[in-house]
């Protein structure tokens, strides 16, 4: 085998091991070999026989490793089944990736509880690992421990992994405090149209960060004499823009005021995390944040990110379109109140339990019982707004719900250039979705769903919307190449199966 093949096989083995939640030591024990041998295999520094590849595949229960090729994953959905029982909401994907980036602020150890085990997290972990941050899953793979090196090796950054996620742009805020000059690959992720990074650069320039761009690379240079002498007004009330400004302010030796800040769920989780690091943040939950930074942070931190309101909305939509009675537990209700108000207006039959706190001690949760409901279209159009408005990422789920409801619904997804276009994929499953322009669709319901075979849309939320419609469609549907769903949801198919869905995972031979 060539060195290139050894590296590719090593990456496949590492990804499969991480997906299983094993450490290198656990895999070594299963193979009756040493941890150092596993480390060499995963780095592509050791010859490996086909017999050993087969043993690793058997130990990890991984078809990917046993075949030696990570072919695309597909889903076969037998629809028309009612869901029942209860299901827990997992921790927030967007909060977890922000906290992984925030771990670069401290020279101490970071422990994150119940981290979302998704592709987006794995990509950030690959980038962190390539620059020297050691990570290991602990407590049977439930929690994640991160230990930074004395010096980050930015020259060794895994640029392929970095380009596969937009979240890597949140490295700018922490890295500017550790290096005077550094490079960062262009961010990637979902295909949602052109999204400018200019608001990030405008905010970070106030801390002395200047960016020049060449082909595929941001070149960063920091002027330590520049400080934010007046409040930073964000030109876009975006989540990652606010997080980047917070990450820069956390290590600034002074007080930073950030105005027009997002107060969304992942921003609040980041603020709570910063407080655990000793950084005082005033105004959490509002659009004005005052950050009392620390020039050096060297403490250990142990934090539990809160639950994901977008996953909660996904599960709520699944119950609606399949006409099911389902209990959704650990719902972060303060970030779904507008959505629930709209659904109540449409006729949703549901009950909310008593409120309790998430493991972070701050976020309010409820258990939500959803019953089969006769829905009608809303009086007004569905459109997102920054929190506390209807969540931008929850808009696509209203397309499936509107297709189930009686009447005509206008959905205006004004944030992204082309996400609304992907919602017309529901037409292949029997829906009546008319594209009015790149941002607006009109949905006519009710829909008599029908099974179909189709490619997965390249954007996360529309892809899940298609999967939910397949759950409602009588017959067998196939959704091909679902990598984008795995970027944002942990074992979604398997978890839906526990409440009555019938979804099979397969790959082409």
- Residue 428, burial from CB neighbour count under 10 angstroms (0-12, 13-18, 19+): middle
Give me the pLDDT at residue 416, please: 78
Lowest mean pLDDT among 1-15, 300-314, 347-361, 431-445: 1-15
Give me the pLDDT at residue 36, please: 81
Lowest mean pLDDT among 182-196, 203-217, 234-248, 467-481: 182-196
Report the 3 state secondary structure along 41-75.
HHCCCCCCCHHHHHHHHHHHCCHHHHHCCCCCEEE
CB 398 within 8 A of CB 364: no
How far CA 357 is from CA of 186, 203, 243, 333, 362, in Å, comes to 38, 33, 23, 11, 6
Give me the pLDDT at residue 57, please: 75
Band (449; pLDDT cuts 50, 70, 90): very high
The percent of residues in the chain predicted with pLDDT above 90, rounded, is 65
State the DSSP code for 479.
E
How far is Cα of residue 353 from the mean position of the Cα atoms in its chain?
27
Lowest mean pLDDT among 48-62, 162-176, 283-297: 48-62
Q: Does residue 183 carry a pLDDT above 80?
A: yes
Arithmetic mean of pLDDT over the chain: 89
Lowest mean pLDDT among 185-194, 276-285, 398-407: 185-194
Band (188; pLDDT cuts 50, 70, 90): low
Q: Does residue 78 carry a pLDDT above 60?
A: yes
The structure tokens listed for 106 are 């401290």
DSSP-derived 3-state class of residue 492: helix
Lowest mean pLDDT among 206-210, 292-296, 362-366: 206-210
What H or E segment, with its residue span, contains residue 93?
helix 93-102
How far CA 421 is from CA of 189, 370, 436, 442, 458, in Å, comes to 18, 29, 9, 11, 11
pLDDT per position as a tens digit, 365-396: 999 999 999 999 999 999 999 898 999 999 99
Measured between alpha carbons, how far is 15 from 19 in angstroms, rounded to an integer? 6
What is the mean predicted confidence (pLDDT) over 429-436?
95
pLDDT per position as a tens digit, 223-269: 998 988 899 999 888 899 999 999 999 999 999 999 999 999 999 99
Interhelix angle 309-321/93-102, rounded to 10 degrees, is 160
Q: Does residue 166 carry a pLDDT above 80?
A: no
Is the pTM for the entire model greater than 0.85? no
State the DSSP code for 76.
E
Interhelix angle 239-250/93-102, rounded to 10 degrees, is 30
Give me the pLDDT at residue 271, please: 98
CA triple 105-249-391, angle to 5 deg: 95
The percent of residues in the chain predicted with pLDDT above 70, rounded, is 94
Give me the pLDDT at residue 487, please: 84
Complete DSSP assignment for 126-156: HHHHHTT-EEEEETTTTEEEEE--SS--GGG
Lowest mean pLDDT among 105-114, 274-283, 453-462: 453-462
Q: Does residue 66 carry a pLDDT above 60?
A: no
More confident residue, 184 or 359: 359
Band (509; pLDDT cuts 50, 70, 90): low
Band (70; pLDDT cuts 50, 70, 90): low
Band (62; pLDDT cuts 50, 70, 90): low
What is the mean predicted confidence (pLDDT) over 487-500?
93
CB 327 within 8 A of CB 319: no
């Amino acid at each position: 085998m060539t060195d290139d093949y050894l590296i590719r096989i090593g990456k496949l083995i590492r990804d499969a091991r991480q997906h299983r939640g094993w450490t290198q030591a656990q895999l070594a024990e299963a193979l009756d070999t040493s941890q150092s041998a596993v480390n060499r295999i995963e780095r592509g520094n050791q010859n490996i026989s086909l017999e050993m590849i087969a043993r690793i595949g058997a130990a990890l229960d991984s078809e990917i490793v046993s075949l030696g090729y990570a072919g695309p994953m597909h889903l076969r959905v037998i629809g028309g089944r009612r869901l029942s029982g209860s299901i827990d909401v997992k921790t927030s994907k967007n909060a977890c990736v922000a906290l992984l980036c925030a771990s670069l602020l401290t020279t101490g150890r970071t422990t994150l509880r119940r981290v979302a085990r998704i592709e987006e997290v794995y990509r950030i972990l690959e980038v962190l690992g390539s620059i020297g941050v050691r990570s290991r899953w602990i407590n049977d793979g439930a929690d994640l421990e991160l230990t930074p090196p004395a010096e980050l090796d930015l020259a060794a950054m895994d640029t392929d992994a970095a380009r596969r996620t937009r979240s890597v742009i949140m490295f700018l805020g922490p890295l500017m405090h550790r290096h005077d000059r550094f490079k960062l690959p262009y961010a990637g992720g979902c295909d949602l149209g052109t999204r400018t990074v200019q608001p990030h650069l405008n905010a970070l320039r106030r801390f002395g960060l200047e960016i020049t761009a060449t082909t595929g690379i941001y070149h960063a240079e920091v002027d330590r004499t520049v400080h934010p002498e007046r409040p930073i007004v964000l030109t876009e009330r975006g989540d990652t823009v606010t997080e980047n400004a917070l990450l820069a302010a956390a290590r600034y030796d002074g007080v930073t005021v950030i105005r027009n800040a997002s107060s969304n769920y992942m921003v609040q989780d980041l603020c709570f995390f910063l407080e655990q690091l000793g950084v005082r943040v005033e105004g959490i939950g509002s659009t004005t944040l005052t950050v009392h930074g620390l020039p050096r942070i060297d403490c250990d931190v142990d934090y539990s990110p809160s639950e994901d309101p977008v996953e909660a909305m996904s599960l709520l939509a699944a119950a609606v379109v399949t006409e099911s009675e389902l209990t959704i537990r650990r719902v972060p209700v303060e970030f779904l109140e507008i959505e629930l108000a709209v659904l109540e207006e449409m006729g949703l039959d549901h009950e909310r339990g008593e409120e309790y706190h998430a493991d972070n001690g701050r976020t309010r949760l409820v258990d939500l019982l959803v019953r089969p409901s006769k829905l009608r279209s809303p009086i007004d159009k569905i459109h997102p707004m920054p929190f506390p408005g209807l969540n931008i990422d929850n808009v696509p789920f209203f397309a499936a719900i509107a297709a189930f409801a009686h009447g005509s619904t206008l959905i205006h997804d004004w944030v992204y250039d082309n996400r609304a276009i992907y919602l017309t994929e529901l037409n292949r499953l029997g829906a009546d979705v008319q594209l009015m322009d790149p941002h607006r669709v009109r949905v006519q319901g009710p829909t008599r769903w029908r099974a179909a075979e189709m490619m997965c849309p390249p954007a996360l939320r529309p892809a899940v919307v298609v999967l939910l419609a397949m759950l409602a469609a009588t017959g067998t549907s196939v959704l091909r190449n679902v990598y984008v769903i795995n970027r944002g949801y942990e074992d979604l198919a398997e978890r839906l199966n526990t409440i009555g869905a019938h979804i099979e995972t397969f790959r082409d031979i």
